[in-house]
Structure 1
Amino acid sequence: MLGKKEINEHGHLVIGGCDVVQLAQEFGTPLYLFDETLLRENMRFYRQSFERLYPDYAVAYASKAFICSAMCRMVAEEGLFLDVVSGGEYYIARSSGFPADRIIFHGNNKTAQERELVLREGIGRWVVDSEAELEVLIEEAKNYRNGKLPLLFRLTPGIDPHTHQYITTGKIDSKFGLPIVGGVAREVMKKALAFPQFELRGVHCHIGSQIDSLEPFLKACEVMLEFMFQFWKETDFLLEELDLGGGLGVPYLDEQKDQFPSISEYVEAITGKVRAWCEEHSFPLPRLIVEPGRSIVNTAGNTVYRVGTVKEIPGIKKYVAVDGGMTDNPRPVLYGARYQALVANRMHDRSRERVSVVGKCCESGDVIIPEIELPRVLPGDILVVEGTGAYNHTMASNYNMIPRPGVVFVKDGKAKLVVRPESLSDLIRRDVLPGD
């Protein structure tokens, strides 16, 4: 089992001290379920690891992994920064009370409405993604109400982390960032130095997601530090911040638990590399920023389903259909993501059968787990798919006009509804009938 789970006297799965079967009855299914204690522990692991190893740092939670108002408030309480990539994420953060000066604003195509919102409300760091964006900001930032606009520049360091092509973002051929090769990034940043409305703080990169080794991160450190060093020599301007983005991978299956570096191993590796490089080149230690998302939320999250139809094709396959699917978890369709599951109401059942767990959408590709051994599954059983904390809630859709699930945080035997499940009436809330 992934995360912190127990089994009670009824043979039911327990998460955060709560009986999952009872939660399914109380809140309905499908349901996103998060262990709040584990969420907070993962945030603290990052902070405590940096505190031991590096003098000046910031940990910014990447909200695209999972965001809601309660999550933003928790991140603020744990002393982290917040990474947002849209006006919507920024709006949720600010509406929850998250301080603007601890928000980092990303995006390769920030719209006029988004730029206006952030420039009006304030921002901790604005990440410039292209020369075209800088040209727009030259005019718009003149009206920034909070002094100089603090900038990071996103660079593409030309590193392939060997992860899925859709989540590789640091190669030269990318829609994100300014290429280091050919001097593109250098010239754009030198241009920014000429404008008093800007405060150049440093550089940013993000090489990809679900990375299973430390080598790509260490290579990124070297490339980015070399750029900062050369920029200093050429311009006599010291960039004081290095943001390495996120990307640390996590296990989705029990068999993968030893395949990924831990949070502490990751922090030890990058801080060690930065310290050693800076000492060797007599370069001042930069403020080090990281933007973890998946490694904070994924294992803490689970999706609870109720089994409906069980269909067996003799000699071929047995299908177990649940009351959700690609609408609440599109990752198997998008990335071929793999998951494991538990029958929450019969955790002591040792019988085994090989089945395919599928969703209810009108798509043959709506398959959550193509093949898995489970106890004999019956209609009405409560099935829990583990490790769904990252990118499930945020990617959920209303395909087939299926309402999106609610979100519940559990801790010390208490459950809190933090996102209500959509109702049928929510599906037509934005509809307009012409003539009415």
Structure 2
Amino acid sequence: MLGNKAFNQKNHLEIAGCDIVQLAEEFGTPLYVYDEALLRSNIKDYQKRLKELHPDSTIAYAGKAFLCSAMCRLLDQESMWLDVVSGGEYYVARESGFPTERLLFHGNNKSPQERELVLKNGIGRWVIDSEWELALLSKEAKNYLHGKLPVFFRITPGIDPHTHAYITTGKVDSKFGLTLVDGIAQRVIRQALSYENLDVKGLHCHIGSQIDSLEPFINTIKAMVRFMDSFKEQNNFVFSELDLGGGLGVPYLEEQKGKFPSVQEYVEAIAKTLQEECEKYQYPLPKLFIEPGRSIVNNAGNTVYTVGTIKEIPGIKKYIAVDGGMTDNPRPILYDARYQAIIANRVNQGSPEMVSVVGKCCESGDVVIQQTETISVQNGDILVVEGTGAYNYSMASNYNLIPRPGVVFIRDEKPYLVVRHEGWYDLVRRDILPEYLIEKGE
């Protein structure tokens, strides 16, 4: 099992000391459930290990993995920075009271409305993604009300992280960042140094997600420091900060445990390599930023479903349909992601069987788990899919006009609703009927 789980005397699954069957009865299903203590523990693990090895460092949680107002407040309490990739994420953070001076603002195509929002309200670091964006900022930064606009430049270092193509972002052929090819990054950053309203703090890179080895991270640091030293030699400018992004992978299945580097191994590798490379080039050791997301929230999150239709095709397959699916977890259909599940209301009661867990959408591809072993499943059972803390809530949709689930945090064995379930009205509250479509009486 993933995370802090146990079984009680009723043979019910407990997460963080909370009976999941009772939770389903109280809040309904589908439901995202987070173990708050585990969230905080994961954060503290990163903070402790990085500060020990690289004291001048900052951890910015990657908000795209999972973000809501409660998560923003939790991050603030833990003295974290937060990286946001849209005006919407920025707005949620600001409205929750998160300090704007601890926000990093990413995006390869920031809209005029997004740029205006951030320039008016403040930012810790603005990550410039392209030459086109720099040209805009050279004019718009004069509207920044907090002094010089502190900026990073996103670099595509040409590193292949050997992960899924859709979550690879650091290769030369990428929609993100400035390439090192033909001196493009060097030329654009040199131009930025001439703008009085911009404060060039450093460089940013992110090579991909769900990375299962340390080698790509090590190679990325080598490429970045090599570029930083070359820029210093040619332009007499030292980058004081380096943001290495995130990307550390996590296990989703029991058999994947031990396949991915631990947080300690990851932090040790990047801190050691950065120090070695800086010593090699006699380059001043920069302040280090990292942006973990999945490795903080994934094992702390689970999705609770109720089993509905059960369909068995003799000699072929047994389908178990739940009251959610690709609307609350699109990762299987997007990335062939694999998960494991537990029957929460009858733990270890019944003979094992192989089943396919499917959703309720009108799509043959709406499969939550292609094949998994469970105890014999019955209609009405409570089924928990583990390790859904990252990219499930944040990627959920209203496909087939299905309302999205709520979110519960468990703290001190007590559940707290932090995002309410959508209802039927939420599906029409933005609709507008033009006058010509409204029937008029005689």
Q: What TM-score range do you get, normalising by the shorter chain?
A: over 0.9
Partner of 1:21: 21
Partner of 1:119: 119
C-alpha separation in 1, matches of 2:252 and 2:405? 21
Q: Over the residues paired in the alignment, what is the CA RMSD in angstroms?
A: 0.7
Shift of 1:181: 1.6
Shift of 1:244: 0.3
Partner of 2:394: 394
- 8 A Cα contact 2:350 2:376, kept in partner: no
Please give the residue correspondences for 1:110-259 in structure 2 after superposition, counting only pairs within 5 Å.
110-259=110-259
Partner of 1:355: 355
List gaps (5 residues or longer) in structure 2: none
Letter matched to residue 185 of structure 1: A
C-alpha separation in 1, matches of 2:348 and 2:372? 17
C-alpha separation in 1, matches of 2:181 and 2:225? 14
Letter matched to residue 248 of structure 2: L
Partner of 1:69: 69
Shift of 1:350: 5.1
Secondary structure at the aligned position of 2:64 is classed as: coil
Secondary structure at the aligned position of 2:252 is classed as: coil
Partner of 1:272: 272
Partner of 1:292: 292
- 8 A Cα contact 1:327 1:402, kept in partner: yes
Partner of 1:98: 98
List gaps (5 residues or longer) in structure 1: none
C-alpha separation in 2, matches of 1:122 and 1:375? 53
Secondary structure at the aligned position of 1:417 is classed as: strand
Please give the residue correspondences for 1:21-40 in structure 2 after superposition, counting only pairs within 5 Å.
21-40=21-40
Deviations along 1:396-418, one digit per CA (max 9) or x if unpaired, are: 00011100000000122110000
C-alpha separation in 2, matches of 1:183 and 1:281? 20
Deviations along 1:224-270, one digit per CA (max 9) or x if unpaired, are: 11111111111111110010000000000011011001111100110
Partner of 1:3: 3
Q: Which TM-score applies when normalising by structure 2?
A: 0.98
C-alpha separation in 2, matches of 1:121 and 1:242? 24
Secondary structure at the aligned position of 1:135 is classed as: helix
Secondary structure at the aligned position of 2:299 is classed as: coil
C-alpha separation in 2, matches of 1:308 and 1:265? 43
Shift of 1:315: 1.4
- 8 A Cα contact 1:43 1:296, kept in partner: yes
Deviations along 1:147-172, one digit per CA (max 9) or x if unpaired, are: 00001000000000000000000000
Identity score, percent: 65
Partner of 1:418: 418
Shift of 1:303: 0.3
C-alpha separation in 1, matches of 2:328 and 2:394? 9
Secondary structure at the aligned position of 1:104 is classed as: strand
- 8 A Cα contact 1:156 1:178, kept in partner: yes
Deviations along 1:168-221, one digit per CA (max 9) or x if unpaired, are: 000000000000121100000000000110000000000000000000000000
- 8 A Cα contact 2:348 2:375, kept in partner: no
Letter matched to residue 36 of structure 2: E
Letter matched to residue 170 of structure 1: G
- 8 A Cα contact 1:310 1:321, kept in partner: yes
Partner of 1:312: 312
Structure 1: which 4+ aligned runs deviate by more than 6 Å? none
- 8 A Cα contact 2:36 2:411, kept in partner: yes
Letter matched to residue 14 of structure 2: V
Partner of 2:60: 60
- 8 A Cα contact 2:127 2:153, kept in partner: yes
C-alpha separation in 2, matches of 1:419 and 1:188? 42
Partner of 1:302: 302
Partner of 1:376: 376
Shift of 1:55: 2.2
Letter matched to residue 394 of structure 2: T
Secondary structure at the aligned position of 2:351 is classed as: coil
Partner of 1:365: 365
Please give the residue correspondences for 1:322-341 in structure 2 after superposition, counting only pairs within 5 Å.
322-341=322-341
C-alpha separation in 2, matches of 1:136 and 1:63? 25
- 8 A Cα contact 2:64 2:293, kept in partner: yes
The answer as to 2:247 corresponding to 1:263 is no
C-alpha separation in 2, matches of 1:92 and 1:411? 22
Deviations along 1:58-111, one digit per CA (max 9) or x if unpaired, are: 000000000000001111111110000000000000000000110000000000
Letter matched to residue 207 of structure 2: I
Shift of 1:143: 1.4
Alignment length (residue pairs): 436
- 8 A Cα contact 1:17 1:411, kept in partner: no
Deviations along 1:272-330, one digit per CA (max 9) or x if unpaired, are: 00111112221111000000000000011000000001111111111000000000000
- 8 A Cα contact 1:108 1:130, kept in partner: yes
Letter matched to residue 103 of structure 1: L
Shift of 1:421: 0.4
C-alpha separation in 2, matches of 1:94 and 1:279? 39
C-alpha separation in 2, matches of 1:128 and 1:243? 13
C-alpha separation in 2, matches of 1:232 and 1:106? 25
C-alpha separation in 2, matches of 1:110 and 1:209? 22
Partner of 1:43: 43
Deviations along 1:15-73, one digit per CA (max 9) or x if unpaired, are: 11100000000000000000001100111011000111112000000000000000011
Secondary structure at the aligned position of 1:280 is classed as: helix
Letter matched to residue 213 of structure 2: S
